[in-house]
Structure 1
Amino acid sequence: MSRIASSLNVGFVAGVLFVLLVYFLVQQQEAISSLSVATTAAVSQWMTDKQLIKAPGEIQQIKAPGEILVASDVHRIADKQPIQDPDVASDVQPISDKEPIHDSEKGEVVCTTESETLGHSETCEVDGDVRTNGTALSVTLVPASWKERREWMISPYSKAEIIVKNVTVTQLQDRATAPPCTVTHSMPAVLFAIAGHAGNYWHDYTDILVPLFVASRRYRGEVTFLISNIQYRPEWLVKYKTLLWGLSKHAWVDMEGDTEVRCFPHVTVGLRVDKELTIVPEVVPGGPLSMADFTRFLRETYGLPRGAAVSLTREPDKKPRLLLIHRGHYRLFLNEPEIAQAAEAAGFETVMMELRANASEAEQARVVNSFDVLLGMHGAGLTNALHLPPGGVVIQVVPYGNIEVLARAEFSEPVTDMGLKYLDYSVSVEESSLLETLGPEHPAIKDPESIHRSGWTNMFEFYLAKQNVRINTTRFAPTLAQAFDHLRQQ
């Protein structure tokens, strides 16, 4: 009997163990199936969103979970002070040690690759419980529930071909790996870099200020700017401080110098360029904006007095004012007095002036706003068209060398989008200093296309760096007449 009882006990235990094993295997299989379905659904949703460009195969795994930090709009722990201008109202409030949990259960990262934009921009829109770590230059989305881990490397400068330290954007798999916030912001943020060609007047607006307006205007000042690369361009922030305060009521953050873990409900990483020095209304987040909206913003921010050019229909006795831009180094007008006389003969009050890149931006804007026509050689100085009153005229003188396509791409459509009349005047070989310095048989004179084919360096050297111009004022007179007629017809 003892032997039978023992056998029964062993059988009973084995049976129980077998049942438990079967149960465990079934539960594990169901869990795996559930995760597989969740992953498939998430990726499917991610791929079908029309704003999403980057495919799963393009994602680069770069950083380990422990290297990632993030944050939101400014509640903060008592022993730390926010990076905030003392004159600007702060939304900083003390909080407990506990990590804030955002209301959004959604949370998503939508990234655009450089191949999808004219300016080769890379951007990510990160929405949900988003945290930034300046010293690691990282932005992290913390999921409310289980998610697949993903990672992107994004250039925060609007032209991705410019080498600048990338921002790591990560969607965490598990919120337990996320560090606690030290500063929590109630407002969104825009992260961008001052780099590349910043300091060149045209690039300042094309690469940074216009795209920043597009990215941030929807927030009506309630946005924090997270700026990287400041140590290399500190003067840039001084020059454009007034415009930055016009877009954000809150102090910007120096990303590389920021030791905080900041939490935001939304972060835009990088700036997007769709067309040079202009805005494509259809792709503006939060609703359409135009280049006319941007120039209106400039007039309001700088307090420019003129919102319309002179109308010769209403004021027939008033002389429209023409600003002839003087250049100090290359691409010079060799006969400026003659050009000024031709403009006076066409009916304009003419002033010659050099518009310096290191001048006060607000003062320069006010000077340009007092004119009706801007006349200049192809170059960054024509960017001052932004400050002309609507209805004014821009005349671009295009140097010899078949560079009309380049010149018009940079100014023709942008100027038109600003609500201005665009005209250009192409220099003939007889008006170019290259004919005298190189001789009629040089390829740059006889065959400009061969210079183009040899690459940008040669093209720039011959047609943009070495060339000065002596305008044939008789040949130029019809262009001046067109400008005058435009003001007479308004």
Structure 2
Amino acid sequence: MGGDPGKLMKSLKGAGQKYLGVGFLLGFFLVLLTYFTVSEQFAISAPNAIRRSSPGHAHPSPATSAVGEKRQQVPVIEEKPPKAEHAAEVKPPPVEEPHVETEEDQKPIIADASTAIGGDGSAEESAPAKKPACDIQGPWVSDVCEIDGDVRIHGSAHSVLIPPSIESGGNPNPQEWRILPYSRKHMANLNEVTVRELSSLADAPACEVRSPVPAMVFAMGGLTGNYWHDFSDIMIPLYLRAARFNGEVQLVVENIQPWYVGKYRTILRRLSRYEIVDMDKDDRVRCFPGAVVGIRMHKEFSIDPAREPVGHSMPEFTKFLRETFSLPRDVPVKLTGADGEDNEKVKPRLMIISRRHPRKLMNVADVVALAERVGFEVVIGDPPFNVDVGEFAKDVNAADVLMGVHGAGLTNSMFLPTGAVFIQVVPYGKMEHIGEVDFGVPAVDMRLKYIAYSAGMEESTLVDTLGRDHPAVKDPESIHRSGWGKVAEYYLGTQDIRLDLARFELVLRKAMQLLKE
């Protein structure tokens, strides 16, 4: 039974090398197959692996980020219209972009690894993310909630409850937001409204009153009482949110102001055909088939057609006002005939807005006489405060030119026919920027022909009351550096204006020429 040990060793070695080669080859194909299988699974799953910093914040695309950077370069004023509390409340906010829903927003979101991996470690398909009810855009832009479906509002508790639908079977991750339903996010003396999702339908309180239409929840008060703020802070932002309902919406108002409801009842009735609910005093649970909580301004006393809700504009809003008050004129008087020649028999109407408070026009009679020599029919406009604005709106609509010193009365420019001329007399004291932001830009947005006239030092009564050596007279920059309080005290609260008739005649002739164009 013996043999050659050397031959045996060589035979075993050759067999080992042969099987080892086959093993390497099989291993290579196995690795390759595994690679393609894993790659295919990853290619399907990867688009869902998107994280967001907060469910209530937008995840801007590169395109919207670029627009945001561009808009932040627009000057934002610190000084605002003449109300004492304005200085304490309004700070220079950055202009922020509204949330624009993109294709990325439509993709399923994996917020946590546990939602993508089963208990046994196997991959599970994630459910599409639910769009947050509330749009939270930052520290300055006001928050707005758009809610579709069952909504239950307990007014006196300042709560808006969102039950889950029967089909959903419940909400395992309910969210909650605290919303100040006013267009300026930081405003004293207003209550926040709690918007809360409920985890189950059983948690929802029973309905005591059912409304057939959605709710529009917002706050009055704030800076209202100043005619300009009445529209800039409430009416224009409210229009932006409520217009799409064509009156089929119910207003639920926190901090309701009876005088506001009375003065603007014609406009409010056009926005809603239903009884206004006084939220603070309403102790019943009201059920609505949807709700909007909060209002948001685009910019001061104006509308940006590119901002959400998109497509609205100031000409649309002024047309809405003309229809609401049955104002007859959409365009000013024609001063040229069909042959292109001037119609000497036609006198355009100039309305001068009267002021009883500081920034009065001291030489009104002289200005009237000058305007009549230039060829205008002149009327003095004295807007009432605590009555429906409809009658005075008709007077303004009959004018072809509106003029006055910077102040809330110039808010009536929105009743002018499109293409009319609007002259703002800017008070002395480097107040051009506030004049431009509060009335100049809105006038252009309304498609009015706008002229700004800056009063000089000699036209200001500050020279008489303070003397030429006072800093407010000789160095307005120093007053601006000292803060808004001093600016308001001297340039809005102390001075009146006596127009230089020779200078102002050129403005009136320019207005006449603009009406001919």
Superposed pair shares fold, TM > 0.5: yes
Specify the TM-score bucket, using the shorter chain as the normaliser. Answer: 0.7 to 0.9
| TM-align CA RMSD | 2.3
Distance 2:385 2:445 in 1: 24
- 2:307 matched to 1:283? yes
- 2:421 matched to 1:393? yes
Secondary structure of residue in 1 paired with 2:139: helix
Range with greater deviation from structure 2 (271-280 or 148-157): 148-157
**Gaps spanning 5+ residues in structure 1: where?**
1-37, 54-104
Which residues of 2 match residues 13-412 of structure 1 at below 5 A? 47=57, 108-113=132-137, 115=139, 117=141, 121-144=142-165, 145-163=170-188, 164-230=190-256, 233-285=257-309, 287-314=310-337, 316=343, 317-412=345-440
The answer to whether the Cα contact below 8 Å between 1:127 and 1:141 also exists between their aligned partners in 2 is no
Secondary structure of residue in 1 paired with 2:444: helix
Query: Do the aligned partners of residues 45 and 150 (structure 1) sit closer, same or farther apart at CA in structure 2, a change above 3 Å counting?
Result: closer
Amino acid at match of 2:226: N
The answer to whether the Cα contact below 8 Å between 1:52 and 1:110 also exists between their aligned partners in 2 is no
Amino acid at match of 1:247: L
Secondary structure of residue in 1 paired with 2:261: helix
Which residues of 2 match residues 5-20 of structure 1 at below 5 A? none
Deviation string, structure 1 residues 197-235 (Cα, Å, up to 9, x no partner): 2121111111111111100101111111101112xx211
Amino acid at match of 1:312: L
Query: Do the aligned partners of residues 135 and 43 (structure 1) sit closer, same or farther apart at CA in structure 2, a change above 3 Å counting?
Result: same
- 2:440 matched to 1:440? no
Distance 2:217 2:499 in 1: 45
Amino acid at match of 2:306: E
Query: Do the aligned partners of residues 361 and 293 (structure 1) sit closer, same or farther apart at CA in structure 2, a change above 3 Å counting?
Result: same
Residue 369 of structure 1, CA deviation: 0.9
The answer to whether the Cα contact below 8 Å between 2:144 and 2:181 also exists between their aligned partners in 1 is yes
Secondary structure of residue in 2 paired with 1:168: strand
Query: Do the aligned partners of residues 186 and 462 (structure 1) sit closer, same or farther apart at CA in structure 2, a change above 3 Å counting?
Result: same
Distance 1:133 1:422 in 2: 47
Residue 106 of structure 1, CA deviation: 6.4
TM-score when scaled to structure 2?
Answer: 0.72
TM-score when scaled to structure 1?
Answer: 0.76
Distance 1:237 1:366 in 2: 20
Residue 151 of structure 1, CA deviation: 1.8
Partner of residue 503 from structure 2, selected from 442, 463, 475:
475
Q: What is the aligned length?
A: 395
Q: 4+ residue stretches of structure 1 with deviation over 4 A? A: 38-53, 105-108
Deviation string, structure 1 residues 117-141 (Cα, Å, up to 9, x no partner): 3xxx232222332211101011122
Distance 2:276 2:443 in 1: 30
- Name 1:28's counterpart in structure 2: none
Distance 2:52 2:506 in 1: 62
Deviation string, structure 1 residues 358-417 (Cα, Å, up to 9, x no partner): 243111111111111111000000000011111111100000000110111000111111
Secondary structure of residue in 2 paired with 1:198: coil
Query: Do the aligned partners of residues 126 and 43 (structure 1) sit closer, same or farther apart at CA in structure 2, a change above 3 Å counting?
Result: farther
Structure number with bigger Rg:
2
- Name 2:86's counterpart in structure 1: none
Residue 302 of structure 1, CA deviation: 0.6
